[in-house]
Amino acid sequence: MTDAALPRFEIDGRVATAEDLFGPVLRAYGHFTAMQVRAGRVRGLALHLARLDTAHRDLFGTGLDGELIRHRIRHALGDDIRDASVRVHVYPADRGDATAVLVAVRPPKQPPNSARRLMTVPYQRSVAEVKHIGDFGQAYYQRLARRGGHDDALLMAPGGTVSETATANIGFFDGTAVVWPKAPLLAGITMQLLVAHGPDSAKRPIQVAELPSFDGVFITNSRGIAAVSQVNGVALPLAEDRVKGLVELYESLPGDEI
């Protein structure tokens, strides 16, 4: 059930006030993870918690208790929300080296219902392996791509190799295997689940000029999996059956109770 009172925002287990939100809004330092909750469960929950713990060690020099995060999410969902989009943001608090945990609960999001059109941009996210707060270039190029009639920006690492889109990982069908870019990028949770449970996969540097030679291209993020139909207006093979197979595999994975 989804409550009409959404969105909900809680900080450290209590309803956030406008003053509480000054910190998350004004401080461009911190990290987060985004997940889709269905029937009170999340696919790859352990991976989300590991992501938060690793990023916390990188940014703040100490670990982050996964059970505390689960409790914060459960509290924010309450007894009435079973399906939702949930973001967990961690940022500096006003007390010395302390940090605060913001849980944002919003209506659930569905995967894209059509193949994606991408535009390449010469940009690499800073500290790309961390899902961090406040990357201006990422948002800028995504908006630029959408103004040009595309769905998202495809980020290009130094040397012109493909890395990721502004909002998703990108993968390529090569025969029976899946190839992922070998470049600075964030290993998304959906990507990690497909690597662990999906077809054989490999990583290697990929140039944009190679894309039409693959059997198909797809993206993955917390919302799900979708095919890519074109990059810079160049049509790509649509491996609809292969993408459908990945979607079915992903949806067959049991979620973890929060």
What are the structural domains of the chain? Answer: 8-106 (3.30.470.10), 116-256 (3.20.10.10)
Residue with tokens 């491996």: 239
Residue 60, beta-bridge partner list: none
Rg, the chain, Cα only = 19
pLDDT, position 121? 98
Cβ neighbours, 10 Å, residue 196:
11
Q: How far is the C-alpha of 178 from the C-alpha of 122, rounded, in Å? A: 24
CA distance 155 to 138: 9
Digits of tens for pLDDT over the chain (258 positions)? 444 578 999 999 999 998 888 878 787 899 999 999 999 999 999 999 999 999 999 999 999 999 999 999 999 999 999 999 999 999 998 776 789 999 999 999 998 889 999 999 999 999 999 999 988 999 999 999 999 999 999 999 988 999 999 999 999 999 999 999 999 999 999 999 999 999 999 999 999 999 999 999 999 999 999 999 999 999 999 999 999 999 999 999 999 999
Q: H or E element: which one contains 104?
A: strand 99-106
pLDDT at site 192:
98
Give the separation between CA 114 and CA 129, rounded to whole angstroms. 28
CA distance 222 to 229: 20
DSSP state of 16: P
pTM score, two decimals? 0.94
Distance, CA of 60 to CA of 53 (rounded, Å): 10
